[in-house]
Amino acid sequence: MAIVENLEQWKADYYEEWLPHYERTGELVWLNYPRAHNRTAPTGAGIDLSNSRLLLISTAGGYWRGEQKSFDAANDLGDYSIRLFPTDTPFEQIDFAHDHYEHTAVTADTQVLLPLQHLRDMVAEDKIGSLASSVISFSGYMPNVAQIVAKTIPAIIAAAQAEQADGALLVPA
């Protein structure tokens, strides 16, 4: 199953129309942005969470302050890289670099976008077998779908495989 159906048509619309307009004018015209549409949702076999290793993935742009470079949140064309940081990183050492959502809720309660304590509680209650040792984080603002498919998704899959995760919880920002 394709990650994005009709990716070649999407590329044509993006690279021949939307991106050249941005490059000419500096304007991000979202009404003309070619959104990807899939008719079929990707599926897979279900898992028993109580016997599984769960990986947390967040699109909030979180990174380990002082240990990692922040995301390039100001880049109009996005940052397609990922960051991994230990699940036991203290919340006060995690910063967020993402200019495309309201940070008020995250500032008040980091659990909103990184529910690590909730997941730890579920492990303690035997609802989840274990947590992966790292969190995968990226900035969810990435307008180039082709770059997501070519760069970001393979990096996430490689990191998930290295973590030997059975399943993932994606928390979007």
| pLDDT tens-digit readout, 98-128 | 777 776 766 667 778 889 999 999 999 999 9
Other beta carbons less than 10 A from residue 45's beta carbon: 4
The domain containing residue 163 runs over which residues?
A: 50-171
Same domain, 3 and 68: no
142-147-151-156 Cα dihedral, nearest 10 degrees = 40
Same domain, 62 and 124: yes
Give the total number of structural domains in the chain: 2
Same domain, 76 and 119: yes
Same domain, 109 and 54: yes
Same domain, 56 and 8: no
Closest alpha carbon to 3 in 33, 44, 42: 42
Same domain, 81 and 115: yes
In a domain, 45, yes or no: no
User: In what helix (H) or strand (E) does residue 124 lie, and over which residues does it extend?
Assistant: helix 116-124
Same domain, 89 and 10: no
Same domain, 31 and 78: no
Same domain, 90 and 33: no
- Say how far apart CA 98 and CA 75 lie, in whole Å: 10
In a domain, 120, yes or no: yes
Same domain, 54 and 115: yes
Same domain, 60 and 23: no
Say what the pLDDT of residue 149 is: 96
Distances (CA, A) of 85 to 16, 45, 55, 80: 37, 28, 12, 17
In this predicted structure, the answer to whether residue 18 has a pLDDT above a threshold of 90 is yes
Say what the pLDDT of residue 110 is: 73
Say what the pLDDT of residue 105 is: 65
- Say how far apart CA 40 and CA 147 lie, in whole Å: 21
Say what the pLDDT of residue 143 is: 96
Same domain, 29 and 103: no
Other beta carbons less than 10 A from residue 29's beta carbon: 11
- Say how far apart CA 21 and CA 16 lie, in whole Å: 9
